[in-house]
Amino acid sequence: MCRIAAYIGPSIPLENIIVRPTHSLLEQSQHATQAKLAVNGDGFGIAWYDRDAEPGVYRDVLPAWADGNLTSLCRMVRSRLFIAHVRASTVGETMRQNCHPFSYGRWSFCHNGQVPHFASIERRLEADLPDHLYAARGGSTDSELLFLTLLANGLDDDPARAMATTLDKIGTGPDPVKITCVFTDGQTLYGYRYASRGTAPTLYASGVLDNGGKAFASEPLDGGAWDAVPVNQIHILSSLQTA
């Protein structure tokens, strides 16, 4: 399973979440402790926000620990809001277009989980997309199509309703659907966990960090206060201080 980390709050170097913590996202790319696979080496990516409405995005197919540019980028780039992801692929080959986060307009999205019956519903989900979202699909993952379907179902207006409508369209199959995702419109950070049966993939929300920010992570980044995100409801992190 993939690993996710995200942050909202006063502007900080990306490395404060992705590289420096004891159990940072970079550490989790090789030593995850709450996933089926300890190693998440099928690519990585970051989406970050500054003054523009749309995020900057950096993705690559290298394992996170093998790209020397990543630590340099994370040291030099500061952001008030970002999401990052390391991938252990389940659907779709290892290529840049299949690496998370996915972005469209002001939204960015990353996902951990799987829709086991994806092959049987992919064509139907594609057909339900409006032309502009169908044309935006660049890869072959269930994750990207999930994101585009959320957008088609009104993510801009009502994230909770968009999620409920999308899950209804996905339906169920012989094996459980498991979805944990983090997404943002550049102002608010959303987390969500779902499993049609069994346990949803992990996601934790931090307490207020020492700089006043807040974070999501697949596994706690350090020994601070981290609470499991409740299942089947949108969990929101926001910050009044984002300068």
Strand partners, 4: 85
Alpha carbon of residue 44 to chain centroid: 11
Instruction: Considering only residues 39 and 5, tell me which one the structure prediction assigns the higher pLDDT.
Output: 5
Task: Determine which of 68-82, 95-109, 175-189, 227-241 has the lowest per-residue pLDDT on average.
Answer: 227-241
For residue 142, give both structure tokens: 């269930």
What is the 3 state secondary structure string of 86-116? ECCCCCCCCCHHHCCCEEECCEEEEEEEECC
Q: Specify the pTM.
A: 0.94
Q: Exposed, middle or buried: residue 22 (CB in 10 Å: 0-12, 13-18, 19+)? A: exposed
Summarize pLDDT for 98-152 with one digit per residue, the tens: 999 999 999 999 999 999 999 999 999 999 999 999 999 999 999 999 999 999 9
What is the pLDDT at residue 242? Answer: 40
**Catalytic residue annotation:** 2
Of the chain, the percentage scoring pLDDT greater than 70 comes to 96
Of the chain, the percentage scoring pLDDT greater than 90 comes to 85
What is the pLDDT at residue 243? Answer: 37
